Structure 1
Amino acid sequence: MTLIKSISGIRGTIGGPAGENLTPHDVVKFTTAYVRLISDRVVNRRPVIVVGRDARLSGQLVSDLVEGTLLASGADVINVGLCTTPGTEMAVITKHADGGIIITASHNPWQWNALKLLNADGEFLSAAEGQQVLALSGEESFDYPAIDGIGRVLSREDYNDEHIRRVLALPMVDVEAVRRRHYKVVVDAVNSVGGVVMPKLLRELGCEVVELNCEPTGEFAHNPEPLPEHLRGISEAVVREKADLGVVVDPDVDRLAFVSEDGTMFGEEYTLVSVADYILSEHPGNTVSNLSSTRALRDVTERRGGRYYASAVGEVNVTTKMKEVGAVIGGEGNGGVIYPELHYGRDALVGTALFLTWLTRRGMTLTQLRATYPAYYASKNRIELTPEIDVDKVLREVKERYSNEKVNDIDGVKIDFENSWVHLRKSNTEPIIRVYTEARSMEEADALAQRFIAEIREICR
């Protein structure tokens, strides 16, 4: 079906022809290229690579291929098994490894899998490093070490408990205050690794937990992207159980969404906004999110006396900008919270712990807390690409049409109007153009999206 090679890794559907889908051949080739990049930075010893995976059906198969290829390429392996993306990132840091490979296709459906590649800081490779891996994977032959040069498995160990421990130890997480509140929480972990870690974290915080889709079978109970149209089950469960809130994560637990006590969506975009509001209330400073994220973060940041910065889409772009401007909090509007005091990576565990602390300190319900933030409404749409569409030409044409408006072209084209915006960009992980809009009402946001979709189709004729 599809194989997508990008600077952030390799992603595709399992099986089929090599080079067109994610096959054993492609996994071995790309893993070999990655370990060659890492090996060039290590002197007089074997590189150490952490391997972790989510619970999707192909996870163990791909993990075995990755581990074997790393060993055959002369790397030592720390295998943390069933582990979240942020947990694997943290394991790289705390184990003093030279890199890491996370086996997850994140929000993609069950037939997909991917290799996400990390550096020694537990962060995604830079664009330049990703290009090096792509170039190395294109070489026709590899020179593997002889028997005395192969790697070994240093350990097979669970890292989830350590991740939880480090989250709860953060000064901004008020464990005792949250425990006294005794929240009742429904968790939807879409039958992946979130079902292992999220209930445990919440119980450590004194919550009564109702588990929904928490068996890590990899057989996703619904579309794994945490969007409102996929979350009717937990919305109904929150009301039925008379819960204080619902917590939703994607398969690798780097995205986080909340459901309010009345069954309405708190808003995936407002996950970061609310957590940032809490951090800024104690530590005023700068914030960063990507171009496709809500204006509400800018509004909250400025209200707290800080300055907001936008980055290109992609976690590595957000973290790079955060370091550049010394941001105290950042992330992405898809529910990705990046809190540098723990690590530079989107992390649903730290997002949940900080959010519950803020909710406790405010003494509010979720609907009350949500009402304290500027009301923006986002519409997220897509246009399927066909081979004859010249995306760059389309974006240039749109940019020219709106040259009198405030236009940002660091990542696709974003046009800021007085009370709304539209962001058009080619996806790095799927063969689509994303059309994201935001306005003061859902009707306005949808209308703006349809207007630009119609314009793009007109340009493509």
Structure 2
Amino acid sequence: MTLVKSSSGIRGTLGGKIGKGFSPVDIIKFSAGYISWMRRKYKKKKKYVIILGRDGRITSSLFQEFLIITFRSLGVDVINIGLSTTPTVGIAIIDEKADGGVMLTASHNPKNWNGLKMFNSYGEFLSENDFQKLFYITEKENFLFSSYKELGNVFHKRNCIQKHVKKILSLPIIDQNIIKKAKFKIVIDGINSAGGIAVPILLEHLGVHIIKMHCDPHGDFIHNPEPIQKNLKEICNKVPEVKAHFGISVDPDVDRVVFICENGEFFGEEHTLVAIADYVLENKFGPVVSTLSSSHSLKDLAIKKGVPYHSTSVGEVHVVKKMKEVHAVIGGEGNGGIVYPELRYGRDALVGIALFLTKVAKLSNISLSELKKKYSGYFMSKKKIRFYSHKNIQMLLKTIKKKYRGKKMNLSDGIKIDLLNDEWIHIRKSNTEKIIRIHTESFSKKRADFLAKEILCEIKKL
């Protein structure tokens, strides 16, 4: 059993003992801790209101009831928006002027996981500092529940995804007319979660001919839900089979998006951010931000465009913090997470799709496989290995530091080692699973894989 607490939220596997997995008791404990944090953060209020959303997981509709009961028992009003996306919860918080919100999801983790993503009153994830306060409160505080006269109310809203889409389409940078003229034919893999509803709503407004795959949000994921190449073989085959212009795949809570080329090639999750940043920078001059584990392609694009580039530790909260500091016009992560601040400071697959479609439509008759060549100067290898104690991680990092002594290292998030010829290695503990992630980048796939294998060999020696 696993329970992971980080700035990415709380998530864990289902079942097992309290405190060792994502159990009903843990759900109540962390949600009560969140309300206590909120009351300390936003003092002198008679009544608090939060937004509650969920992804399509089999357990999410069940656990949603635990959350409603807990929040109401603490005297908090709940606006339940039901099946939704993580960015939609953020938008709804802003629209409803709520004090915060919770999304019931384990994001890209498999279906035996679930979790909680928590927001502040700005519709953004809690900062790292606020998460630490929340975790402390959860462990130390004796929660005070309300009397029957002070119970919170529950309200239901079912059109929040539509409102979210409407806000995206109102952005000046999104050209609805040129997308409609392109008459795109697109395959969608909704992983049987919220994306199967949200992405078609967006594309229907844009006049796209949609071919749906796994868009029934019953939560029985047909494949591993992380939107990476090895998990998307079916849609990669489907796109050329039906002669679609391209394909779109999202994760279960729709904050990451990847694209499939017309010939079935994977466009690349790293290229999602780079292609969208290329389009945004054609319209607005300013800094860009990504993470230490993201491709150097974005840095090269920034140099070419003459704008500052900044990198951060992995995680949405770190990207958003840096974007605010430098007033970035676009940012995100190399996993397909796009942050477009003109809409909201948070990853959003739907705005990413709208920006990408506008870019491709304006290129006129250029296929995705041709566009990919513009951004494919680097090759990455992404490996992961399970760990069983923090001692193992510390031993590994110590060994790697010794092995690459004299090389330029960034120690802000694990170890990022810069080698010659724009090669690099990044080893870090995941924020969302009990694994060590090993990302490498080089001028060839063979070389990137070799660098990753060297690290894996060091791990096996421990």
Q: What is the match of residue 306 of structure 1? A: 307
Tell me the CA shift for residue 267 of structure 1. 0.5
CA–CA separation in structure 2 for the residues paired with 1:388 and 1:173: 46
Q: Larger deviation: 362-371 or 393-402?
A: 393-402
Tell me the CA shift for residue 141 of structure 1. 2.9
Mapping of residues 172-251 of structure 1, within 5 Å: 172-251=173-252
Root-mean-square deviation over aligned CA pairs: 1.3
CA–CA separation in structure 2 for the residues paired with 1:353 and 1:204: 11
Confirm or deny that 1:329 pairs with 2:330. Answer: yes
CA–CA separation in structure 1 for the residues paired with 2:80 and 2:3: 25
Q: Which runs of 5+ in 1 are unaligned?
A: none
Answer whether contact 1:7 1:134 (CA < 8 A) is retained.
no
Q: What is the match of residue 450 of structure 2? A: 447
Answer whether contact 1:39 1:46 (CA < 8 A) is retained.
no
Q: What is the match of residue 379 of structure 1? A: 381
Match among 404, 407, 411 for residue 405 of structure 1: 407
Tell me the CA shift for residue 140 of structure 1. 6.3
CA–CA separation in structure 2 for the residues paired with 1:368 and 1:178: 19
CA–CA separation in structure 1 for the residues paired with 2:83 and 2:416: 38
Q: Aligned with 2:317: secondary structure?
A: helix
CA–CA separation in structure 2 for the residues paired with 1:134 and 1:393: 27
Q: What is the match of residue 46 of structure 1? A: 47
Which residue identity does 1:412 align to in structure 2? G
Match among 403, 414, 417 for residue 415 of structure 1: 417
Q: What is the match of residue 273 of structure 1? A: 274
Answer whether contact 2:7 2:315 (CA < 8 A) is retained.
no
Q: What is the match of residue 35 of structure 2? A: 35
Q: Aligned with 1:63: secondary structure?
A: helix
Answer whether contact 2:8 2:316 (CA < 8 A) is retained.
no
Which residue identity does 1:376 align to in structure 2? Y
Which residue identity does 1:123 align to in structure 2? E
Which residue identity does 2:339 align to in structure 1? I
Answer whether contact 2:331 2:339 (CA < 8 A) is retained.
yes
Answer whether contact 1:179 1:207 (CA < 8 A) is retained.
yes
**TM-score under structure 2 length normalisation:** 0.97
Q: Percent identity, please.
A: 44
Match among 388, 391, 395 for residue 393 of structure 1: 395
CA–CA separation in structure 2 for the residues paired with 1:272 and 1:43: 41
Tell me the CA shift for residue 258 of structure 1. 0.2
Which residue identity does 1:404 align to in structure 2? G
CA–CA separation in structure 2 for the residues paired with 1:341 and 1:130: 25
Q: What is the match of residue 16 of structure 1? A: 16
Match among 415, 428, 440 for residue 437 of structure 1: 440
What is the number of residues matched between the two proteins? 459
Q: Larger deviation: 232-241 or 198-207?
A: 198-207
Tell me the CA shift for residue 374 of structure 1. 4.5
Q: What is the match of residue 362 of structure 2? A: 361
Answer whether contact 1:299 1:374 (CA < 8 A) is retained.
no
Q: Aligned with 1:361: secondary structure?
A: helix
Q: Larger deviation: 270-279 or 402-411?
A: 402-411
Tell me the CA shift for residue 456 of structure 1. 3.0
Q: Larger deviation: 107-116 or 153-162?
A: 153-162
Answer whether contact 2:396 2:458 (CA < 8 A) is retained.
no
CA–CA separation in structure 1 for the residues paired with 2:183 and 2:121: 39
CA–CA separation in structure 2 for the residues paired with 1:418 and 1:276: 26
Tell me the CA shift for residue 9 of structure 1. 2.4
CA–CA separation in structure 2 for the residues paired with 1:334 and 1:107: 11
Answer whether contact 1:292 1:436 (CA < 8 A) is retained.
yes
CA–CA separation in structure 2 for the residues paired with 1:169 and 1:4: 38
Which residue identity does 1:360 align to in structure 2? A
Q: Larger deviation: 150-159 or 50-59?
A: 150-159
Which residue identity does 1:337 align to in structure 2? I
Q: Aligned with 2:144: secondary structure?
A: coil
Tell me the CA shift for residue 361 of structure 1. 1.2
**TM-score under structure 1 length normalisation:** 0.97
Answer whether contact 1:422 1:438 (CA < 8 A) is retained.
yes
Q: Larger deviation: 252-261 or 121-130?
A: 121-130
Regions of 4+ moved over 6 Å = none
Tell me the CA shift for residue 388 of structure 1. 7.5
CA–CA separation in structure 2 for the residues paired with 1:44 and 1:290: 37
Which residue identity does 1:88 align to in structure 2? V
Q: Aligned with 2:67: secondary structure?
A: helix
Tell me the CA shift for residue 229 of structure 1. 0.9
Tell me the CA shift for residue 398 of structure 1. 1.7
Which residue identity does 1:392 align to in structure 2? Q
